[in-house]
Amino acid sequence: MSERNLVLLGPPGAGKGTQAERLVDDFDLPYYATGNILREAVEQETELGRKAKEYMEAGELVPDDLISEVIAERLDSGEADDGFLLDGFPRTIGQAEMLEKALDGRGRSLTAALLIDAPDVEVVRRLSGRRTCVKNNHVYHTDFDPPKNEGVCDQDGSRLVQRDDDKPETVRKRLQVYHDQTEPLIQWYEDRGLLRRFDGTREPEEVNSHIRATLATLALEAEI
Ligand code: ADP
Ligand code: ADP
């Protein structure tokens, strides 16, 4: 079986985390969501967390070198040798170049960049109702995907909370940052023949089956 080295791309709220939950189950891949890693670091008041906190609260990106180090550590941990699913990284051309170089130096390469796209009005609607569980970051929505019992995670029983940066002013800032700094990556990956697009406005199950079909095709092509 060839490696599955994947990145998820798309605006905040497009459904990357929601799809990642399913893909991790489908393919048993180690999942690295830089937003989750950083929020945990902030909570635990590690050095990384202390450095990242202000940027995150303002809806800005943390500096490339800070986050690139986190990813390099994961690539060298041994658990990602057969593949990985990155969510929220890369977010700038600089980070994408770093990833390309890091993989190249290890004799590896990216399998695909999966773009889940959705227009601004839709992601604003989604982020304002997003709730995540404190234990494992399982994702819900107050209207589109409510838990069975209000405020409680269906999967692990932990409390559901709203992220501080899902407040309207910060959401607007994050979207602007996405359009300015992350959107150029779409063309960057397109130029390398790695981009695969998915319509994030579809139902989660439909998006999942499109992604699975694409990954199945890529696996077949890799075997030929
Ligand atoms: P979303 O899932 O809504 O797109 P994330 O959870 O990925 O948001 O990210 C939350 C915040 O963490 C970002 O606004 C940014 O401050 C920081 N962050 C996460 N990943 C990166 C990254 N690759 N580079 C710089 N900052 C990042
Ligand atoms: P991202 O990781 O891209 O920031 P999330 O997966 O956290 O996005 O999803 C953002 C919000 O939108 C969550 O509240 C989630 O329940 C909801 N959501 C995700 N995918 C869909 C979808 N296809 N249709 C409607 N709501 C969705």
Catalytic (active site) residue 106? no
pTM of the entire predicted model: 0.96
Is the bond into 11 cis (omega within 30 degrees of 0)?
Answer: no
Q: Residue 221: name the closest of 86, 108, 100, 112 by CA.
A: 112
Domain boundaries of the chain, sorted by first residue:
4-30+80-118+177-223
Amino acid type, 194 = L
In the three-class reduction of DSSP (H, G, I as helix; E, B as strand; rest coil), residue 32 is classed as strand
CATH assignment of 4-30+80-118+177-223?
Answer: 3.40.50.300
Testing ligand 1's pocket by substitution, the residue of 9, 34, 99, 139 carrying the most ligand atoms inside 8 A of its CB is 34
Q: Which residue has the tokens 């937003």?
A: 35
In the three-class reduction of DSSP (H, G, I as helix; E, B as strand; rest coil), residue 131 is classed as strand
pLDDT of residue 222: 84
Testing ligand 1's pocket by substitution, the residue of 43, 61, 66 carrying the most ligand atoms inside 8 A of its CB is 61
Catalytic (active site) residue 16? yes
pLDDT of residue 1: 52
* H helix or E strand, kind and range, residue 25: helix 16-27
Please give the Cα distance from 95 to 146 (Å, whole number): 34
Please give the Cα distance from 178 to 14 (Å, whole number): 12
In the three-class reduction of DSSP (H, G, I as helix; E, B as strand; rest coil), residue 82 is classed as coil
Give average pLDDT by consecutive 10-residue segment, the chain, 224 residues: 90 97 93 96 96 96 95 93 96 97 95 97 95 96 96 98 92 96 98 98 97 94 82
Catalytic (active site) residue 39? no
Spatial contact of 32 and 85, defined as CB atoms under 8 Å apart: yes
